[in-house]
Structures are given as C-alpha cells and as structure tokens.
Amino acid sequence: MVFNWQYSSSSTDSPPSTDSDTDSVAESVANVLVHFSPRLSLRPEPIQAPGVEGWERSDGGLSKNGNQGEGNVEEAPADGRVWFEEQLEDDLKWSFTLERVLDRGTSAYQQIALLDTKRFGKVLLIDGKMQSAEKDEFIYHECLIHPPLLCHPNPKTLFIMGGGEGSAAREALKHVSIEEVVICDIDKEVVNICKKHLTENHEAFSSEKLKLVINDAKVELQNRKGKFDIIVGDLADPVEGGPCYQLYTKSFYEKIIKPKLNKNGKFVTQAGPAGIFSHKEVFSSIYNTIKQVFKYVIPYMAHVPSFADTRGWVMASDEPFSVDAKEIDRRIEKRIDGNLLYLNGTAFLSLATLNKVVLTSLLKETHVYTEEDARFIHGHGVAYRH
C-alpha cells in the first residue's frame, strides 16, 4: 500500500570516584559553567559533590568565592558523583552525571562546551543547550538526513547549514549517489572542538566529497551560483541573541533556500522540541512558516533520550512525497553504503504519524516566523547576555 507521506500546504552505576578525582571534575565543570547563563549548574542545589565546599551560585553559574549570598553548599553524598544540570524551563531541570570536561570555548557567536558523561558519552553544548550526545545522536542525524535523501530520486549535491559537528555529513556520505557535501558553519570554534574530539566523524571530515566552509549560511548561499538537490538546516535551536534565528524566517526560506534548490529539490530543517508540552515553542511556527513557501510540507518527530523530549523536523518540496515502506527499504539497501541504526521503511513512515495534540496545534498554528516576530526556546545566546 502506498502511503502519501505529506501534509499539503493548502545503566549501570560505576564505582564511586575518589575525592581528588571528583574535586578535579567539579572544578573543571565550574570553570565551564561560569561562562554560561544561570540555566546551568552543578546539581543538586545544595551542590552534592565532595570537595566543592566553597563553590557558590552566581549569575554566571558557579564561582569559588566562599559560601556567601544565596549559594547553598552542603556536604557531598557518599557516592561522590558530580552532576551537570540544564534548566529546560523555569520550573523544569534535566541533569546527568559527569566524567570530565573535554573542551570549552566562547566564540564571537556562542558558547561551546564538550562534556564526557556517564549516561550519554560525549555531549556537545552550545549556549547551554544540548546539541547532541554520542550515545543517541544517530537518532537525530538519521532523521535529519535520510528522509529527504531517500525521497529524492537521485541526490548528488547537498548543502548543510550548520553541521560543524560533522555527524550530518557522515550520514549524507553513506549515500553512494552523493558527489558533494558542503558544510557551512559560522563558527570555526565549534568545528575545531568537534574535529578534535568526535573521532567517529574523522572519516567524514577527511572525505574528498566534503567541502567545509566557515561562513554565514545565508551569505554563502546568496553568493553561490550553483544549486543543490538537498539543503539541510542542522542549526542550533533559535534562542534570543543566538546566531541562528534568522535562518528560520519566511524571508530566508522564500528568498534564499527555495531559489537554491534544483528541480525536485528537498529542504529539511531541525525544528526544535516537539513534545506534548514543548511543540508550541518553535516547532509549530517553523512548520507553518515553511508551509507558506513550499507546496508540500512534512512535519515529523522522534524521541531523543538525551534531549529529554521529542525532537521535531520539517521537510519540504514543491514535489509531492509519495513512498511506501517497501520502497524505502529497497532504497536503503540499494543506495546506502553502511548501516542505519534507527530507520527502516516502517520507522521512516511512522515519523510523520503525529499524535492528536501536536497535529491539532500544527494545523491551527497561524504564527509566521519573521525577524521582527520571532519565537525562541528557553535560554539566551551570547549577544543577549552582552
């Protein structure tokens, strides 16, 4: 049976670490956190890690200035764990244990940290927001890359906006028909940190088919003469003051993205949290905005454990998406050199089977994303804090 895949536009605990090990981790974490907004802290409050008496909470995170002000510091529990905490909403936090801080930096655009965690392996944070985690990033990147490529009859060229981590390019390069992949990331610091530490993407970065460009994606696409079969938005979530929100606007989709697609071209973008409680932040608006520009628009979503939520994507084209599970399985077998861990034909189609709550919101959404009337997820970027 053919499924018309479209909406039309009309663990196991480790032994406790020693006090000296935990001291080192806690201090390293605190050094990272003072560069971030108050959304991030060691957890819990009071701080529960041995050897961190004297760390206090401040507007910038934690600082070692003695137990003064509102900082509430207590003795650590016996297990000696150090926790990292991300505030998802004003009344909701998400935390996990840390092994060490691998790297960190502040660029002209955003703040970056790469953490090593027990549960999720290496974790990339940008402006304090979880971007991907080693243990489950395959879910996000397979869902971002393979749907548009498998829906295209013969994809050869692909342009990735953002994607400095390298994982999106890694997935795209599994397709034997691909001749060129362009990563265009505005932030060289993100690329350098990821190239250094994310060894699973070294092969992708060394591929002769890959072109890495450090530039604003909008400027790069405007100045390029050629077009692409696939354009991908592997962008950070839109946060107030961050560098990416202009790449979610109607004018960008209409004036930059669409003219740069070849005939039968596909566009896909990550579109923020898509859970029962979070989908109205930006997901519904991004969907409705893209719907103003393209004839056929597919919202889809999947749960990503490290995000502690469901993630949303939106795929669009001026050609309809008509596929069935058997055909997708056939294309995966024929076109892809390597394994997919998450997607097969049935899973591919199920992504776009939205629950009633989210689907109703998307169909009722009227907001169109513009630079003057943007929506943001919780948190703030570097420009906002300046």
* Identity of residue 142: E
Residue range 77-84: average pLDDT?
70
Three-state SS at 16: coil
Average per-residue pLDDT in the chain? 82
Going from N- to C-terminal start, the domains of the chain cover 19-131, 136-385
The answer to whether domain 19-131 and domain 136-385 are alike in fold is no
Query: Please, which pLDDT band fits residue 47 given cuts at 50, 70 and 90?
Result: very low
For residues 159 and 71, the answer to whether their CB atoms sit within 8 Å is no
Residue range 357-378: average pLDDT?
94
**164-213 tens-digit pLDDT:** 999 999 999 999 999 999 999 999 999 999 999 999 999 999 999 999 99
pLDDT at 78 over 90: no
pLDDT at 346 over 80: yes
Contacts (Cβ under 8 Å, ≥6 apart) of 245: 238, 239, 371, 374, 376
Query: What is the separation of C-alpha 292 from the centre of its chain, rounded to a whole number of angstroms?
Result: 24
CA distance 80 to 17: 6
Query: Please, which pLDDT band fits residue 10 given cuts at 50, 70 and 90?
Result: very low
* Residue whose C-alpha is closest to residue 100's, from 43, 47, 37, 24: 24
- Look up residue 174 and give its DSSP letter: T
Q: Considering only the top CATH level, what class is 136-385?
A: alpha beta
* Residue whose C-alpha is closest to residue 376's, from 129, 186, 131: 129
Inter-axis angle of helices 356-364 and 283-291, nearest 10:
50
Catalytic residues: 234
| Domain 19-131: CATH superfamily, name plus number | Spermidine synthase, tetramerisation domain (2.30.140.10)
pLDDT at 111 over 60: yes
**229-258 tens-digit pLDDT:** 999 999 988 878 777 889 999 999 999 999
**302-327 tens-digit pLDDT:** 999 999 999 999 999 999 998 899 99
pLDDT at 11 over 60: no
- Look up residue 287 and give its DSSP letter: H
